[in-house]
Amino acid sequence: MAGTILVLNGPNLNLLGTREPDIYGHATLADVEALCRAEAEGFGLSVDFRQTNAEHEMVEWIQQGRCGLAGIVINPAAFSYAAYPVLDALKLVEGPVVEVHISNIHRRDEAWRKDTIMTAAATGVISGLGIAGYGLAVRYIAELVRSRP
């Protein structure tokens, strides 16, 4: 577990790569998973990669992973805007939590997209770097692990 990075994806991200490519690109969630695994494996770490459309499932996964993981990378997707149970669960996590958004939520046409509540529980946020943001988040956590005595 200490050598595992949990990568969580919220609602509708199972459809990544099938619509709105101008905003989200052409990569699929399977591509994102491969990217995260490749990055983690370079540091000798493993990735537990998951997606759900169900808030209760996301809460369960975060609770199960709150201790003993290298860290959590999460794209909460639309949970970002109203899912207080997910926020509370993230606040219980002991290790680093990196919030990732593929698009730059501060430049989107809909003003509400910038108001993510999850940031209150995140160590840091990456937004707008496409799926590369996931790889950078995994790398951040992996380097933290490597720097520990």
Name the catalytic one among 101, 106, 134, 140.
101
* Residue 134 falls in the annotated catalytic set: no
| CA 25/CA 5 separation, integer angstroms | 24
- Report, in Å, the least distance between residue 3 CB and ligand CA2: 26
Binders of ligand CA2 in range 88-117 (CB under 6 A): 101-103, 105, 113
Which residue, 62 or 102, is less far from ligand CA2 as judged by CB? Answer: 102
What residues act catalytically?
Answer: 24, 101
Contact residues for ligand CA2 (CB under 6 A)?
12-13, 15-16, 19-20, 24, 75, 77-78, 101-103, 105, 113
